Structure 1
Amino acid sequence: MDIPGLVEITSYDELRAVVPPPLQTTADKVRKELHELDKQWLAESPFCLVATSAADGSCDVSPKGDPAGFTKVLDDCTIAIPERTGNRRVDGFLNILSNPHVGLIFFIPGRGETLRINGRARIVKDAPFFDDMVVKGHRPQLVLLVEIDEIFHHCSKAFLRSKVWKPETWNPDAVPSRAEIAKALDRKDAELAELREYYGAQYEKGIYNGRY
């Protein structure tokens, strides 16, 4: 794409000329093992994003969510994230089969900071700790087992700028509903009324049902 006036950065020195190196305290905050405060954060986090990249460079970021504490700490260097019923694309898992490196961000609603974990993942279909991950009678079908390479807490600037946790800024009806988006993009042959019913109250009731 040709954009008049575009000035691209293509080297480390060019990048650092714009963004100076981090403070030493920032550079040194990266750790390889979970601290007790990290474990407390994971115990209170109901949501995370899992970033993956295949061997060919194609990328994916998948949201994962469950009741707070859904991520199980196995030891100071290993965590496990349950996989629930979804759209069956398993894009992230397919990436992991060729490239095990993953990046995770754990959120606590209302908090601007996030917990960042980078590591190497394995896809597990059974283990004794699966029984500790049952929610509403449903055992996870798969678990993402992550061995930690790096862990650190990230500052709140992005959340402060976006005001994402400020309810007075929320406007969920600013864009079409999920049913309308599905009708336009994903399920063009379906009736809109049918989609509105599907994505209505019953949708939440069935989020733990079904199988891949």
Structure 2
Amino acid sequence: MKITTSTQLRELYGYPSGRAKDKVFPTLEKHAINFIKKSPFVVLSTSNKDGKHDASPRGGSPGFVHVNSDSELIIPDAKGNNRMDSLSNIIETGKVGLLFLIPGVDETLRINGNAYISIDKNHINLFASEQNPPKSCVVITVDEMFLHCAKAFMRSKLWDASAQINRDELPTMGQMLKDQLGTKEAPETREAMLKRYKKDL
């Protein structure tokens, strides 16, 4: 049986109460700002007008996402592969979701809001010290912000060293791409790939 209505869903799960209901805020406050300033990693979620979704990892030094005010964030668009999935979606819908992570911390910070792509020099210059300064930035106006509980990270043991696998248990990225694309040339080694990546950091 499929759940096809909100009524069925609520009959199954009920409604949030207490802190789960009350913890959503329309702007950033001191703890959210502190969390962002300590975070080196965020997942940027977008969708286009046809409902095609994308979730893109973004990383940098802790605090690489600039807090411009209690309602505005600026994410530099770091040098990448030019697919432009996230940026194209932002042009179409102007909507984003963010999930901020801090290594070793099981709680996360979630933000939903409106966004646009900026090439304003005032925005670009915020990141002038980067090895590869961005060509554009994503400017986000916060609609809602809330802390997310630790349960998913506790279940996954994401930061627990005992849960880490030996990297050799997975093929290299080069081998996986070779198999997926059916190419004939030798797969790029992990060492060669890392060396190539370092130029774009």
Matches within 5 A, 1:21-100: 21-100=15-94
- 1:191 has 2:186 as partner: yes
RMSD of the alignment, in Å? 1.6
Deviation at 1:106, TM superposition (A): 0.4
Which residue of the other structure, out of 93, 97, 100, is the alignment partner of 1:103? Answer: 97
- 1:143 has 2:137 as partner: yes
Tell me if structure 2 keeps the 8 A contact 1:179–1:199: no
Number of aligned residues:
200
Q: With structure 2 as the length reference, what TM-score do the two structures score? A: 0.93
Deviation string 1:167-208 (CA, Å, 9 cap, x unpaired) is 11111333211111121124724322xx11674441342123
**Structure 2 residue identity aligned to 1:179:** G
Q: Which residue number corresponds to residue 200 of structure 2? A: 207
**Residue ranges of structure 1 left out of the alignment (5+ in a row):** 1-6
Q: Which residue number corresponds to residue 9 of structure 1? A: 3
**Structure 2 residue identity aligned to 1:108:** I
Q: Which residue number corresponds to residue 3 of structure 1? A: none
Between the aligned partners of 2:56 and 2:131, the Cα distance in structure 1 is 24
**Structure 1 residue identity aligned to 2:199:** G
Between the aligned partners of 2:190 and 2:164, the Cα distance in structure 1 is 24
Identical positions, percent: 33
Deviation string 1:100-122 (CA, Å, 9 cap, x unpaired) is 11100000011111010000010
Between the aligned partners of 1:178 and 1:55, the Cα distance in structure 2 is 31
- 1:157 has 2:156 as partner: no
Aligned to 1:89, the other structure's residue is in SS state: coil
Deviation at 1:135, TM superposition (A): 4.5
Between the aligned partners of 1:198 and 1:87, the Cα distance in structure 2 is 19
Between the aligned partners of 1:136 and 1:99, the Cα distance in structure 2 is 29
Aligned to 1:63, the other structure's residue is in SS state: strand
**Structure 2 residue identity aligned to 1:174:** E
Classify 1:136/1:53 alpha carbon distance in 2 versus 1 (closer, same or farther; 3 Å).
closer
Deviation at 1:37, TM superposition (A): 1.1
Aligned to 2:35, the other structure's residue is in SS state: helix
Classify 1:95/1:136 alpha carbon distance in 2 versus 1 (closer, same or farther; 3 Å).
closer
Q: Which residue number corresponds to residue 175 of structure 2? A: 180
**Structure 1 residue identity aligned to 2:157:** K
Aligned to 2:63, the other structure's residue is in SS state: coil
Between the aligned partners of 1:149 and 1:196, the Cα distance in structure 2 is 43
**Structure 2 residue identity aligned to 1:168:** S
Aligned to 1:39, the other structure's residue is in SS state: helix
